[in-house]
Every structure is written in C-alpha cells, then in structure tokens.
Chain A
C-alpha cells in the first residue's frame, strides 16, 4: 500500500490559520492501514485543531469526513454538495488524493495533512517499510522476488557493492543489504548460478525520469 506519515500539527496549524470553516477529509484505504489519515486520525486532528484555536481565541469550525478513497471520481463526488461551505480542506489522503481533490474542487484550497512516503508493507504494527518504487518494468522474476531498485540504497542491478557488511547496508545497520537478501534467496531456490548473469542497463524511461506516467487500457475504456 501507499505508506504515509502524519504531518506535525504545527505545520497543519500554520496551513489553516485564518480560515473560519474547514473540512478534515480522511481516506479509508492505505492511510487508514498505516494509521496516518483514516477516520481515527481525522477525529484526533479535528479535536486538536479545535482546542488549539479555541485557546488562541480564534473562531474556527472544523468538520470531519472520511471518504472511501480520494483517487476515484465517484468517491470524491460525495462532497460535491457540501464543499462550497468550506474555506479550505485538509486532506489526510496520500498525495494522490490531495491532488485529485484539488483538481476536482478547483476553487477550494486543499492542504496535505500527511507526508506521502513510499509503496510498502506492514512489517508489524507501527513499522512500515519500502518495497516498490514503481520503475514500470518489474524485474522481480530475475532477482528472486527482492527488488534491488527499491531496497538497495544505490539501486545496483549487479550488486552488492563493497560496503555490504554482515548482511547490512553501508548506510545503516538497520537496513538489510538487498543483495544479501537476493543471494540468500537464490541459494534457497537453488539458483545461485544465476548470480553471475549480468543484468543489462535499465531503461529508466518508464520510471520518474521519463516524465509523469500514464497507463491507458484501450480494452477497458468506454
């Protein structure tokens, strides 16, 4: 899922200062799972903001809503009839949702309430880690199911580098060396001889480098 982390409340306070009526909009999917922007977090943020501004002697109305997703037209339409009463929206969805909301409600300022981080897994409650960077040309079949692009700090396709120490990356003892993981798994799958195949130079044009990306499926377009 997309993993995000809550923005510090000071940052959000700064964004909404001066508005009289705002909507905190959460999302029921990824940000709920990583406990950054779901219904609970919306409630907590709204309560905190009310208390802050009350303390400051400033009037502000803070409403709450949690949409199913903020990346599909249908779900964002749910607030079509109520959006105009708000001076601004703080969206706790990932960066995708914040933008889609802003596109849809062109005249309403939309602010991000979380920092969107990466595509990753829940290792355990409270710990999420990166697994995919969306390079657009998946090579997991060749690397025993472990991605060197997202999990190697140098995204080496022919690793490991000379800094790999005891299975950890040179940049941090808390980071597994992706190539150690790949080698371990190749061994487990009895495919260690594949290690010596040289991975070719990558076509990065399907990655960020090639420009903002689109997937078009003519077969399902209406």
Chain B
C-alpha cells in the first residue's frame, strides 16, 4: 500500500512504523482554547489527533471547526464524522470544508443514537450509513465526483478510516464486517478500546486468516482506566464494551488512590502485548478528559519519540 494522500498518518503507516493516534473531545462551548490546550499536551507524542463528533449525542463544538483549529496550530487532525446528524449534502459539504483546510484524515462513523445525549427529542438523519460514507469519500477523492455525479473542483485528498468493534455482537460477523468496510474502501481502522485481549487476538487471527491485515491498517484502541468504578461502569453500562472480570478485579484490588496508576499500567501492558500481534499497525489512545496521561503512556510503551518531518 503506497500513500495516496498528503496525510501524515498515512505516510507513517506506509513506512511500516507503528503509528500512534489519540483523541480530544471538544468543549460544550465556543472557547477553542480547550481544544488547543489539550492538543498542546499530546502533540509531540502522537502522529494524528482525532476530534470526536458530538460524541454520545451530546452537543459540542463541531469536529470540523476543532480540526481547523488544530490545523492552524500546524498539527495533524483526524475528522470524525457521524452520519446521525447530516444528510448527504451536508456530509459532502463538510468533507469539502475540511479539505479546504487541507485536513487529510477522516473517520467514518454511524454515531451513537441521540437518545443517549442532550437531544433525545430531536430527529436523526441516517441518510447514509457509515459504510456508504466510506464509499462516498473514496468517490469524491478518487473520481473527483459528487454523489450526484457532478465533478468536484479540487477533490478532497483524504485518508479514509472507520471504526471496528471486535467486542460487539454478533461476534461471528465482526470480521466479515471488517471485510465489508475494506470492500467499501476503508484504509485504516481504529478499534474500540481493548480490555479483553484474548477476544481481540482471536478477532485479529480471523482477520489475518482472510488476509485483511494486509488490506487495511489496523490501529488497536486503548483507554486507560481511572478507577474500579470506571471499569465497572464501562463493563455494565456501555453498549459494545467488553471489560473482563479480571480487569475489574485488578483495579478494585488496589487502594483507591493507586487505581489511576494501575489503570495506566494495564494500558501500557496492553500496548506492549499487542505490539507483538501481527497485523496491529499502531495504537489509538483514547483518554478523554485525561489527555495529560497520553505522553506517559506513549513513553512507557516504548513508542516515543514520534517521527518528526
């Protein structure tokens, strides 16, 4: 696979190195400093920074605007785009908006249902699904065309990503679903955060059996646990999340003030183990509201320094 876009993330993955990405959640207000400060904290330790898109359906400063702020800082943003809130006109329009600022990474997502957030009485859109959004970005980039068929002046040059969740049900189609996204045109994958390493490695094995690891760059998602309470919450209350009992026990087995450190230990150990997993081409560290720990995680995992160009 050779780089098709000016994306820095693509270049690093292409070179065979392990990539490191992380994410920032925008504020519930219009102060860009929240984003720029978080980005400052992690910028030397990651290759690209995802900006979430109204995550959990809670209205926030838009992902696109936040990505522009990062771009203006000279950083490499990844635009997360959900299909819950925008029809095909708005999706294509925002893609062009991002491209006009030379934002080169996009993550195509379904989006959590609005019932979870602050607007449960609102409409949702789902004009396209995430699979079709992947196809759309590829169409816009590779053929320079809108969905309607007209030509695009200065087509977007975006490196196309999507999410994968090896822990959602039904397990038996999770690898076929990965294959489907690859067929739709996805180029990199960020997985849901991993606590159940056995299950993840099983999913990777099935993906390798089909040769999928050579058709897409898979970045393993990790999230450091801050407390036993957080582990329990994620285990029981977050759909599509798999937190094994041993992990909860391990967190609970440590005094409260030491739990954050233990969570980081688990995170680092996960990364170390998965470095050995064939097909894992990098790591996506999701430490929402705990971004200050990302540098430590990256360093202790032996992934520092990052390549500077």
Interface residues of chain A, those whose CB is within 8 Å of chain B, are 153-167, 170-171, 177, 180, 183, 195-196, 198-201, 204
- Quick check: B84 and A154 within 8 Å, CB to CB? yes
Looking across the interface, which residue of chain B has its beta carbon closest to that of A204? Answer: B127
How many Å from the CB of B254 to the closest CB on chain A? 28
Knowing A196-B179, A196-B180, A201-B147 touch, does A163 contact B132 (C-beta < 8 A)?
Answer: no
- Quick check: B169 and A164 within 8 Å, CB to CB? yes
* Alpha-carbon distance between A195 and B180 when the two chains are bound, in angstroms: 9
Q: Is B128 an interface residue (CB 8 A)?
A: yes
Partner of A154, one of B113, B163, B183: B113
- Quick check: B88 and A201 within 8 Å, CB to CB? yes
Task: Report which residue of B169, B179, B240 has the largest number of chain A beta carbons within 10 angstroms of its beta carbon.
Answer: B169
Q: Is B115 an interface residue (CB 8 A)?
A: yes
- Quick check: B110 and A156 within 8 Å, CB to CB? yes
- Quick check: A158 and B131 within 8 Å, CB to CB? yes
> What are 12 A-B residue pairs whose CB atoms fall within 8 Å in the complex?
A153-B113, A154-B84, A154-B126, A156-B130, A161-B130, A164-B168, A166-B169, A171-B115, A171-B116, A196-B180, A198-B184, A199-B132
* Alpha-carbon distance between A154 and B114 when the two chains are bound, in angstroms: 10
- Quick check: A162 and B129 within 8 Å, CB to CB? no
For B176, the chain A residues whose CB sits under 8 A away are: 195-196
How many Å from the CB of B108 to the closest CB on chain A? 11
For B129, the chain A residues whose CB sits under 8 A away are: 154, 156-159
For B88, the chain A residues whose CB sits under 8 A away are: 201
Q: Is B55 an interface residue (CB 8 A)?
A: no
Partner of B124, one of A154, A177, A204: A154
For A204, the chain B residues whose CB sits under 8 A away are: 127
Known: A156-B126, A160-B170, A183-B172. 8 other contacts (CB 8 A): A156-B129, A158-B131, A162-B164, A164-B239, A164-B240, A165-B239, A170-B112, A198-B135
- Quick check: B126 and A165 within 8 Å, CB to CB? no
Partner of B168, one of A165, A195, A198: A165
Contact with A along B159-183 (1 / 0, CB 8 A): 0000111001110110010011001
For B124, the chain A residues whose CB sits under 8 A away are: 154
Knowing A162-B192, A164-B240, A196-B183 touch, does A180 contact B128 (C-beta < 8 A)?
Answer: no
- Quick check: B132 and A158 within 8 Å, CB to CB? yes
Task: Report which residue of A154, A180, A199 has the largest number of chain B beta carbons within 10 angstroms of its beta carbon.
Answer: A154
Knowing A154-B126, A170-B240, A180-B169 touch, does A162 contact B180 (C-beta < 8 A)?
Answer: no
How many Å from the CB of A139 to the closest CB on chain B? 13
Looking across the interface, which residue of chain B has its beta carbon closest to that of A173? Answer: B239
How many Å from the CB of B192 to the closest CB on chain A? 6
- Quick check: A198 and B183 within 8 Å, CB to CB? yes
* Alpha-carbon distance between A201 and B146 when the two chains are bound, in angstroms: 13
For A155, the chain B residues whose CB sits under 8 A away are: 126
For B239, the chain A residues whose CB sits under 8 A away are: 162-165, 170
- Quick check: A163 and B168 within 8 Å, CB to CB? yes
For A156, the chain B residues whose CB sits under 8 A away are: 110, 126, 129-130
Which B residues, 77 to 129, have Cβ-Cβ distances below 8 Å to chain A?
A: 84, 88, 110-113, 115-116, 124, 126-129
- Quick check: B240 and A162 within 8 Å, CB to CB? yes
For B180, the chain A residues whose CB sits under 8 A away are: 158, 195-196, 198
* Alpha-carbon distance between A167 and B170 when the two chains are bound, in angstroms: 7
How many Å from the CB of A203 to the closest CB on chain B? 11
* Alpha-carbon distance between A91 and B96 when the two chains are bound, in angstroms: 51
- Quick check: A201 and B192 within 8 Å, CB to CB? no
How many Å from the CB of A199 to the closest CB on chain B? 8
For B111, the chain A residues whose CB sits under 8 A away are: 154
How many Å from the CB of A183 to the closest CB on chain B? 6
* Alpha-carbon distance between A39 and B132 when the two chains are bound, in angstroms: 48
* Alpha-carbon distance between A153 and B114 when the two chains are bound, in angstroms: 10
- Quick check: A171 and B183 within 8 Å, CB to CB? no
* Alpha-carbon distance between A177 and B136 when the two chains are bound, in angstroms: 26
* Alpha-carbon distance between A158 and B131 when the two chains are bound, in angstroms: 7
* Alpha-carbon distance between A154 and B115 when the two chains are bound, in angstroms: 11
How many Å from the CB of B84 to the closest CB on chain A? 7
* Alpha-carbon distance between A168 and B306 when the two chains are bound, in angstroms: 42
For B169, the chain A residues whose CB sits under 8 A away are: 160, 164-167, 177, 180
* Alpha-carbon distance between A160 and B129 when the two chains are bound, in angstroms: 10
* Alpha-carbon distance between A177 and B113 when the two chains are bound, in angstroms: 13
* Alpha-carbon distance between A155 and B131 when the two chains are bound, in angstroms: 13
Task: Report which residue of A153, A160, A183, A196 has the largest number of chain B beta carbons within 10 angstroms of its beta carbon.
Answer: A160
* Alpha-carbon distance between A201 and B129 when the two chains are bound, in angstroms: 8
Looking across the interface, which residue of chain B has its beta carbon closest to that of A156? Answer: B129
For A183, the chain B residues whose CB sits under 8 A away are: 170, 172-173
* Alpha-carbon distance between A161 and B84 when the two chains are bound, in angstroms: 12
* Alpha-carbon distance between A170 and B169 when the two chains are bound, in angstroms: 11
- Quick check: B110 and A154 within 8 Å, CB to CB? yes
